[in-house]
Amino acid sequence: MDSDQGQRFLLERPKRKNPVLRTRLPTLPPAARSRIALGLTAAAAMGRFELQQCKDCGTVQYPPREACQKCLSVKLIWKILPDGGELLARTVLHHSNDLFFRERLPWHLGLVKLDCGPTVVAHLHDSVEKRVRIKAMLDRAGQAVLAALPEKEVNVAEDRQLREFSCDPKFRKVFITDGKTGLGQELVKKMASAGADLIWVGHSEPWKKFKGFDELAKIPQVTLLPLDLTDSKNVREVAAEIGAKVDIVVNNAEHHRAFGIANRAGIETARAEMDVNYFGLLRLAQELGPVMRARGADGQSSAVAWVNVLSIYALANFPPHGTFSASKAAAHSLAQCLRAEMRPAGVRVVNVFPGPIDDEWNQLQPPPKVTPAALAAAILRALQDGIEDVYPGDVAQEWLARWRDNPKALERELSA
Amino acid sequence: MNDFITKLTSGKIRVVDLTHTLSPEFPSISLPPEMGQAWPFRIEEVSRYDERGPAWYWNNFSCGEHTGTHFDAPIHWVSGKDVANGSVDTIPSRNFIGPAFVVDCSKEAAKDADFLLTKKHLLSFEKQHGRIAGRSWVLMRTDWYKRAGDPAAYQNYDETGQHTPGPDIDAVKFLVEERDVLGFGTETIGTDAGQAQHLRPPYPCHYYMHGAGRYGLQCLANLDQLPPTGAVVIAPPLKIQNGSGSPLRVLALVEGK
């Protein structure tokens, strides 16, 4: 093993907070990027490492630029590229005038010569050796940075430096808004096994006992809370009770019926969808957002992430589930607003866009459908990996590809 | 009238509130999830002496016609859809006030949540307290209202649905056909029993009462504070155009302590 193993960072349960000391305010790493450089962020947001490659001469570009550094062609295409490289040099930062890094010194940086050409500056994983792989991650400002990892599989959330870019639930307190669904119950299991300290689980209409209630209640980390996102008073009271402790919110509560416009008279179903999927998110964000923003740098287990379970139908309307699609599009738009408002505190808003989930409301959808367990696993991975846009499952991936290629064509295909 | 006013102002006539507080927590009727649903009571603050309205406090609220303590009009049920003056805005206003006969079923309901009030019970009630007069309310006291603080106990669901007391078919037909009552009131969600969808016809109280142009009162409270006879119930619903029912304040006037 490595020679410096004795000093290696071990993620330990943080001590209880000293309640008489001031809570540190969140700071962000440098966030300014050119529009071109945001291409790196767009890819990293989905967990991809992409650089520009010249269409004319094949040169890979870094940092992102307007014209090819070799032939001056403007035909630079963002592409997923091989992530292997060699660590040329490393250095330890002991001083920084940047407030974010100043509070996190010492900081290890390195120069990595990529197999695909350019040499890049990267944040170093604790156990990198000569051969590394580069991972594009989002930092606390929501911008892409490059991290150099060892070739073997590692959990970046357990590295002292790279943990700053992740939203790991370990030793954190998680609030899952709906425990009644298969997804909610799988999320609880995943968060518990990932080491979450406490898991609050909402359930609406407490008089309707649901399948899985007893199993949930038995998990030692779990506290069940009556919660109905359509009830402002209830949301306010729950937020008042637990808000100051919540580090990660997973808003998976949704109302889903399979109707378009003509096959359901009136607006009651559509309104119920909006009330949970859109206004529910708004109520929750108004009550919990401010207190989470205040805790963006509250020690090792700070407030760190807000996950919205949206739908791939938020990108383009799926007419057989037309009103549901519209409510998810509204929620997506609001989630972008929430992202903008949470970013100054370094709290990441993770938007999840699953295709049809294998549940009762997608009974008539043909497979493939994403299982609640697979969806919960994708959400956990996104938190640990520093991703903010998640498209889990085959259907979501395929729709995303079609939508990115030609949104109008997808609209026509879906209305066929 | 002067005698009445004297008794009312002197406190010789008590006013008993038979109404639950409208709140978001109060349990509302649940139908199978694929069906249309009644809104539960919800409330949003408009302003509270703040920048949204500096010197005043007010709210917007929303709810279904059949939320909280509420009134059922004949057109609520398909059997009453063609009844003349069958909506809350057209019901003659004299029908919003009437004498009450309170049938105590609290012991039976405590023993059996699916208890059905029968014609036999009603006849034995009459033997003790006199004949149920025409144009009066018959209220089924079960003390179920005391469960309202615990929504699960109040709804009392299991995997076969809701288990709450109500009248059986013969009792309802007897009250409509032989006693000409104004309507029937309960302390539960529904004038019918929780399992009344399995009776023939399903939901007999809704079916016969509304089919005959009679009314329903549900989610009543404090029926244990009423005498078996002699109380007067005041129950005017909101005047909703073509409304099938409405939340309302139900008051009872009772003489003596």
pLDDT (average), residues A191-203: 97
Q: How far is A207 from chain B (nearest CA, A)?
A: 4
* Per-residue confidence (pLDDT) for residue A206, from 0 to 100: 87
Say whether B36 and A266 touch across the interface (CB within 8 A).
yes
pLDDT (average), residues A200-214: 91
In Å, how far are A278, A360, B18, B248 from B68, measured between CA atoms? 26, 30, 11, 8
Is the pLDDT assigned to residue B147 strictly greater than 50? yes
Per the prediction, chain A carries an average pLDDT of: 95
Closest CA to B155 of B194, B117, B192, B116: B194
Q: What is the pLDDT of residues A345-355, one digit of tens each?
A: 999 999 999 99
Cβ atoms of A71 and A59 closer than 8 Å: yes
| Paired sense of beta strands B231-234 and B97-104, if any | antiparallel
Question: Distance between the two ends of chain A, CA-based, in angstroms?
Answer: 59
* Per-residue confidence (pLDDT) for residue A7, from 0 to 100: 59
Q: How confident is the model at residue A218 (pLDDT cuts 50, 70, 90)?
A: very high
Say whether B30 and A266 touch across the interface (CB within 8 A).
no
Q: Which amino acid is at A193?
A: S
What six digits make up the tokens of B128?
């003790």
DSSP three-state, residue A138: strand
**Class of residue A35 by CB neighbours under 10 A (exposed 0-12, middle 13-18, buried 19+):** exposed
| Paired sense of beta strands A389-390 and A348-352, if any | parallel
Given B30, B43, B154, which is nearest A233 (Cβ)? B43
Number of residues written out for chain A: 416
Say whether A233 and B24 touch across the interface (CB within 8 A).
yes
Quick one: how far is CA A154 from the chain centroid? Answer: 19
What six digits make up the tokens of B24?
């978001």
DSSP three-state, residue B184: strand
d(C-alpha B17, C-alpha B142), whole Å:
17
Cβ atoms of A49 and A62 closer than 8 Å: no
Cβ atoms of B210 and B57 closer than 8 Å: no
- Tell me which of B20, B66, B70, B76 is the catalytic residue: B76
Is the pLDDT assigned to residue B238 strictly greater than 90? yes
Domain ranges of chain A: 40-165, 173-414
DSSP letter at B19 equals B
Say whether A230 and B44 touch across the interface (CB within 8 A).
no
Is the pLDDT assigned to residue A304 strictly greater than 70? yes
User: A75 CB near a chain B CB, below 8 Å?
Assistant: no
Q: How many CB pairs under 8 A join A and B?
A: 37
Is the pLDDT assigned to residue B72 strictly greater than 60? yes
Is the pLDDT assigned to residue B257 strictly greater than 80? no
Residue of chain A minimizing CA distance to B149:
A207
Residue/partner pairs of B151-156 with CB below 8 Å, 24 or more apart: B151/A206, B151/A207, B151/B25, B151/B26, B151/B27, B152/A206, B152/A207, B152/A209, B154/A207, B154/B27, B154/B188, B154/B189, B155/A207, B155/A208, B155/B27, B155/B30, B155/B189, B156/A207, B156/B113, B156/B194
d(C-alpha A238, C-alpha A223), whole Å:
12
* Per-residue confidence (pLDDT) for residue A2, from 0 to 100: 42
User: B67 CB near a chain A CB, below 8 Å?
Assistant: no
Is the pLDDT assigned to residue A130 strictly greater than 90? yes
Closest CA to A358 of A331, A395, A390: A395
Is residue B76 flagged as an active site residue? Answer: yes
pLDDT (average), residues A93-108: 95
Q: Which amino acid is at A343?
A: R
- Domain B2-33+65-255: top CATH class: alpha beta
Domain ranges of chain B: 2-33+65-255
Percent of chain B whose pLDDT exceeds 70: 100
Cβ atoms of B163 and B116 closer than 8 Å: no
* Per-residue confidence (pLDDT) for residue A210, from 0 to 100: 86
Closest CA to A358 of A345, A348, A347, A372: A372
CA-CA-CA-CA torsion sign (B109, B115, B121, B122):
positive
User: B162 CB near a chain A CB, below 8 Å?
Assistant: no
What six digits make up the tokens of A257?
């019926």
pLDDT (average), residues A39-48: 96
* Per-residue confidence (pLDDT) for residue A8, from 0 to 100: 66
Is the pLDDT assigned to residue B149 strictly greater than 50? yes
Q: How far is B206 from chain A (nearest CA, A)?
A: 24
State which H helix or E strand residue A42 sits in. Answer: helix A38-45
Q: What is the pLDDT of residues B77-122, one digit of tens each?
A: 999 999 999 999 999 999 999 999 999 999 999 999 999 999 999 9
* Residues in A touching B27 (Cβ below 8 Å): 207
Instruction: Please state which CATH number belongs to domain A173-414.
Output: 3.40.50.720
Given B27, B43, B45, which is nearest A207 (Cβ)? B27
* Per-residue confidence (pLDDT) for residue A137, from 0 to 100: 95
Burial A184-208 (b: 16+ CB within 10 A, else e): bbbbbbbbbebbbbbbbbbbbbbbe
What six digits make up the tokens of A403?
């939508």
Interfacial A residues in 241-280 facing B (CB < 8 Å) = 257, 266, 268-269, 272
* Per-residue confidence (pLDDT) for residue A1, from 0 to 100: 36
| Paired sense of beta strands B161-162 and A84-93, if any | unpaired
pLDDT (average), residues A136-155: 95
Closest CA to A116 of A161, A77, A82, A92: A82
Q: What is the pLDDT of residues A308-335, one digit of tens each?
A: 999 999 999 999 999 999 999 999 999 9
Is the pLDDT assigned to residue B56 strictly greater than 80? yes
User: B222 CB near a chain A CB, below 8 Å?
Assistant: no
Residue found by looking up tokens 């209202």 in the block: B145
